[in-house]
């Protein structure tokens, strides 16, 4: 993890704050090309789109896959405010994105639910699903306290 990774992670965290401000779950993601340029960004829109699959990462993959072929996406990095879930990890895999960097871990997110059995979070995250053998580098968690700020108080009402 380097300074550029931290800069992009902070941008993904800001997108997660925007998602919360727009009435959605506080998750955000950005896609960066091999030169370090931001290609696209997406926030979670589960509530406003009334679509349970509208996670930030899957929204981002939908955008990216329309404009970049998998061979090109292999050199891109997806930065996420939170560790991608199993569904999002599948989308990242099928899109061919070569690198994932995330802030808040699944375990960190679960801490907002006090281990409630009804927590709407699956405990299998990208670190267990995406591997270097798949050609995907996964880094994280990083900047967890910064990423957690968008979640503070949010899940108390949901």
Three-state SS across the chain? CCHHHHHHHHHHHHHHHHHHHCCCCCCEEEEECCCCCEEEEEECCCCCCCCCCCCHHHHHHHHHHHHCCHHHHCCCEEEEEECCEHHHHHHHHHHCCCEEEEEECHHHHHHHHCCCCCCCCCCCEHHHHCCHHHCCEEECCCCHHHHHCCCCCCHHHC
Tell me what the mean pLDDT of segment 20-37 comes to: 97
For the cut 90, the answer to whether the pLDDT of residue 83 exceeds it is yes
For the cut 80, the answer to whether the pLDDT of residue 29 exceeds it is yes
Tell me what the mean pLDDT of segment 13-24 comes to: 98
What's the confidence (pLDDT) of residue 126?
A: 80
Among residues 57, 72, 83, 144, the one annotated as catalytic is 57
- 72 a catalytic residue: no
Q: What is the tens place of the pLDDT at every residue in 100-121? A: 999 999 888 888 877 565 556 6
- Give 127 or 70, the one with higher predicted confidence: 70
Tell me what the mean pLDDT of segment 91-104 comes to: 96
Q: What is the tens place of the pLDDT at every residue in 117-152? A: 555 666 777 877 787 777 899 999 999 999 999 999
């Amino acid at each position: 993890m380097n300074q550029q990774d931290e800069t992009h992670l902070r941008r993904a965290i800001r997108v997660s704050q925007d998602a919360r401000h727009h009435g959605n779950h506080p998750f955000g993601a950005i896609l960066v090309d091999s030169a370090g340029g931001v290609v696209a960004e997406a926030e979670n829109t589960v509530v406003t789109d009334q679509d349970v699959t509208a996670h930030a990462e899957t929204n981002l993959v939908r955008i990216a896959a329309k404009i970049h072929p998998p061979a090109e996406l292999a050199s891109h990095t997806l930065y996420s405010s939170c560790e991608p879930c199993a569904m999002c990890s599948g989308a990242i895999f099928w899109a061919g994105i070569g690198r994932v960097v995330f802030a808040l871990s699944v375990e960190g997110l679960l801490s907002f639910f006090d281990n409630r059995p009804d927590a709407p979070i699956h405990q299998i995250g990208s670190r267990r699903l995406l591997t270097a053998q798949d050609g995907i580098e996964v880094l994280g968690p990083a900047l967890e306290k910064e990423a957690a700020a968008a979640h503070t108080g949010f899940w108390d009402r949901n």
